[in-house]
Amino acid sequence: MTRAPALVILEADGWIARQLADLATENAWLICPARTVDSALSLVRERRPCVLFVQAELAEDSTGPLRLIADLSRELPDVPIVAVSDVKLNDADRVQWAAALFDLGARLALFPPLTQPVLEDAASGLMAAAIRRTVGDALIAKASAPKPRPRRKSAEPVIDLADEELHE
């Protein structure tokens, strides 16, 4: 049985969770806020369709979220990760960081201006794909389960072309 889908959000201030709360309520998804990398990891490892939002602090001294993206995409490649930065960058820096985040395993890198529709579209699309993967696998596994063998009738007549006429 598949458990309820969850949006796991690693952030400091709860802003992303607030933006996605309506979407989660509409679809009966869980919102699992995480304050530390370890708690985010343990939430994502639970077997359920899941999308991880990571508030990525693009700074030299804070590589925790980036390490989480790299480690998680390696360990659980089916969990889509959205990296969200609230730092305004110029075009060149933005390209550099976006390329680095994609390279580390993020499925999408979002930069300001961040709007609720964009976050919701990213969450709904990736969650739909995650559910398809999970439910699809379950269906495939069910289809491959051993089927009951057809029961053979005990008094099944044996067709013999010649017998009847032989004994006429």
Write out the residues near other proteins by the rule CB under 8 A: 47, 58-60, 63, 66-67, 70, 74, 77-78, 80, 89-100, 102-105, 107-109, 111, 118, 121-122, 125-126, 128-130, 132-133, 136-137, 140-141, 143-146, 161-162, 165-166
Q: Are 39 and 85 in contact (CB under 8 A)?
A: no
Q: Judged by CB, which is closer to other proteins: 156, or 164?
A: 164
Distance in Å, CB of 96 to other proteins, minimum: 5
Which residues does 12 contact at the CB level (< 8 Å), separation at least 6? 35, 55
Least Cβ distance, residue 14 to other proteins (angstroms): 23
For other proteins, give the closer residue by CB, 14 or 137. 137
Indicate the residue among 17 and 133 with the shorter CB distance to other proteins: 133
- What's the min distance (Å) between Cβ of 39 and other proteins? 18
Q: In what order do the strands lie in the sheet with 30-34?
A: 30-34, 6-10, 50-55, 81-84, 108-110
The string of DSSP letters for 103-131 reads HHT-SEEE-SSP-HHHHHHHHHHHHHHHH
